[in-house]
Every structure is written in structure tokens, then in C-alpha cells.
Structure 1
């Protein structure tokens, strides 16, 4: 596997380019990071849903360090439900992925002190090309009535579940219309709703992670009106 990880795309969308601050609640972002890693592993054929749990189907590394660390952890751990894995993995993933983005030059790590003793970090954009590609693909998916490629559909699904329409610069009626379209994409790709195990191995695995993420976000933020 090469290129930009799904969790990296999601994280770049979630941080303001200039201020370098998260534009959404940290808890939902942390949950989203965990779900993004699980979804990417499922799409790569490394994990699958079996007997109520997510299990390692292929322990071969992907070449992405963060994904491979999670894969190795899952391989030696006892099986857990999608909901359990989303909660287990959310701690520390955001900082790890931010560190990777700093290392590759996509964002800068700006450390500041508030109130004289509180250290905070901002991550303004250093190389906009990665995020520009993600935004372009999402914009095309929103404007086009066709189902986008699998990776863009996965990103659109996460944006919808995490309530990230404002990160796309959308508010009011435009945000509501975008949410409907994003949910259409998620359903059309088989990444939400009911997908039978006889249809594919990947789709149920992803759909169950998405369901678990949605429930966790609702519990943290309250159900969306």
C-alpha cells in the first residue's frame, strides 16, 4: 500500500489550514481516527468480520507504519467487536498520525504556551497538495450523481458520520444537502446499512465499523437533529 492513509486525509480535513487547530470535537475526531484505520485495513483485506468480531484475515504488512502497528496489535490480541476496537484504538492515534504528517511535511508542529505554563500544539498546513486532492474528490462526489471510487466513498462515509460538513465549508441548507448526498454515497458503496456476509467480506466489516463509530459519536455528542 502506498500514498496517503485514509486517517491522514480525514485529519487534514479536520484541522484548519491557517490556525492549525481542530475544527471539530476532539473525542469524535479520535473515534474517527480509529475507525479510519480499521476501515483501511478492511479495504486492504487484512481484517474481516467473523462470528461477531473483527479478526485478522491476512497479517501481511501494508507498508503504512500506523496501519501495520494496529494490524500487529490485533493479530496478537483476543478478538473484539467492531465497537470495542473503535474504543480501544482511539487513544493516541491522532497524535501518532499528526506526527507522521509533520514528518512528511504536510503540516507544521507549532508549540505555544498559554497562561504561562500550558503547552499547546497547532498544526497549520505546510503542503496543501494532499488536502487539496481530498477536497477535490469529495467535491466531485457531492456534485456527481455517480458512485465515486471506493476510497473516496470511504472518506465520504467518515465525513458524514463524524458530522464534518462544516470542515468542507458548508453550513445551513448546503450542509444538509451535502449530508444527504454523503449518506447516499455511504449506502451505495455498502459502507452503511445492512450488508449481508454473502455479498462480500469487506462491506460488512466496514459497515459494522461505521455503525460502531456512529453510535460512539452519538453517545459523545448526542444524536444529531
Structure 2
């Protein structure tokens, strides 16, 4: 695997470039990142959704440390539902992803002490070009009537599921418009039951995984306010 993983993309969108602090729901981001790792494996043909469970279809590593660690864990443990996996994988995942981004010089770790005693960390951007590319892909998807590639469609769906529309930088009251377009992308890709999978340009094996993980995130976060 080359480039930036989906979980890394989601995290970079959620962190403010200058302050290096996370915005929005922490639990939403952690659930979304856990789901993103599983989607990454589905995109690579390593896992699938079968009989209500996430199952390994190919145990070969894809070349990303965190993703390969999760693949090995899924292969070694009894089969579990998407809802179970997002809850189990989210713990500690953010720290591992941040560490990887720091190692590659994309963000940096700034250690501080809150109230003079409590250790805290910020992760301001070092290489802004990575996040810029992510935002440009999403911006193009939001403004184009055509369905984006399956990877971008999956990212857009996860952004909507984790309620990260404000992180897209929309001004005023247009977060609802962004959510509507993200939902249209999810439906058009077959991630939300909007169309039959035979009509989607996304592989059915990927669409099923994304759809089930989206349901799991929505169930965990509850109804939108």
C-alpha cells in the first residue's frame, strides 16, 4: 500500500492544522477511524461482510503497519460483527495513527502541560499538502454530480456518519447542504440502500462493508441533533 490510509485522512480532517487539536466529537472520530481501517482492508480485498460478520478473505499484509496489525487481529480472533469491531478497534487507535503521521513528518507532536501538571499533546501540521489533497478530493466530490471513485465515496460516507461536516470548512449554515451531498454520494454508491448494488460503480464487496459499518457508527452515536 502507498499513500495515506483512510483512517489517516479522517484524522487529518478532524485536527486543526494550526492548533493541532481535534475538533468535533472524539467518540465519533474514534469510531470513524476504526471503521476506516476496516474499509481500507475491504478496498484492498482483505476482508468482506458475510453472514453478519467481518471475515478475512486474504490474510496477506498490505504494507501499512496499523492496517496490517488490525488484519492480523481479525484473522486470529473469532468472527465478529461490524458493530463489535468498531468498538473494539477504536481504543488506542488514534494514538497509533498519530504516531505514524509524526514519523512520516506530516504532523508533529507538541507536548505541553495543562494546568501546569497534566500532560497534553497537540499535533499541528508539518506537511499541509497531504491534507490539501484530501480536501480537494472531497470538494470535487461535493460539487460534481458524478459519483466519485469508491475510495473517495467511502471517505465521504464516513465523514457524514461521524458528523464531521463542520471540519470541511463550510461557512455559515451550509453544513446541512454538505451533509445532503455526502448522503447523496453514500446513496449513489450503494452504501445506504439508496440504490441496488448492481447499479453502483462501487464493488459490492466494498459497498456491503461500508454500509454495515455506517449503520454501526450511527447506532453508536444515536440520533442526530
Q: TM-score, normalised by structure 2?
A: 0.94
Cα distance, 1:191 vs structure 2: 2.1
Q: If the length of structure 1 is used for normalisation, what is the TM-score?
A: 0.94
- 1:191 — aligned with what? 191
1:106 partner SS: coil
* Contact residue 160 and residue 179 of structure 1 kept, 8 A: yes
Shift of 1:173: 3.3
Structure 1: tracts of 5 or more residues without a match:
none
Alpha-carbon shift at residue 34 of structure 1 (Å): 0.3
Residues 13 and 131 in structure 1, CA contact (< 8 A), matched pair in contact too: yes
Q: Are 1:108 and 2:108 counterparts?
A: yes
Match of 1:206 in 2: 210
1:137 matched to which residue of 2? 137
Contact 1:195 / 1:203 at 8 angstroms: preserved in 2? no
Q: How does 1:31-50 map to 2 (within 5 A)?
A: 31-50=31-50
Q: Show the 5 A alignment for 1:1-225.
A: 1-193=1-193, 200-218=204-222, 223-225=223-225
**Hey, what's the Cα distance between the residues in 2 that align with 1:97 and 1:121?**
14
Q: Which runs of 4+ in 1 moved over 3 A?
A: 194-199
Q: What is the SS of the residue equivalent to 1:191?
A: coil
Is the CA contact (8 Å cut-off) linking 2:190 and 2:196 kept in structure 1?
Answer: no
Q: Report the CA distance between 1:144 and its aligned residue.
A: 0.8
For structure 2, which runs of at least 5 residues remain unmatched after alignment?
Answer: none
1:196–1:204 Cα contact (<8 Å) kept: no
Residue 28 of structure 1, CA deviation: 1.1
RMSD (Å), alpha carbons: 1.6
Number of residue-to-residue matches in the alignment:
221
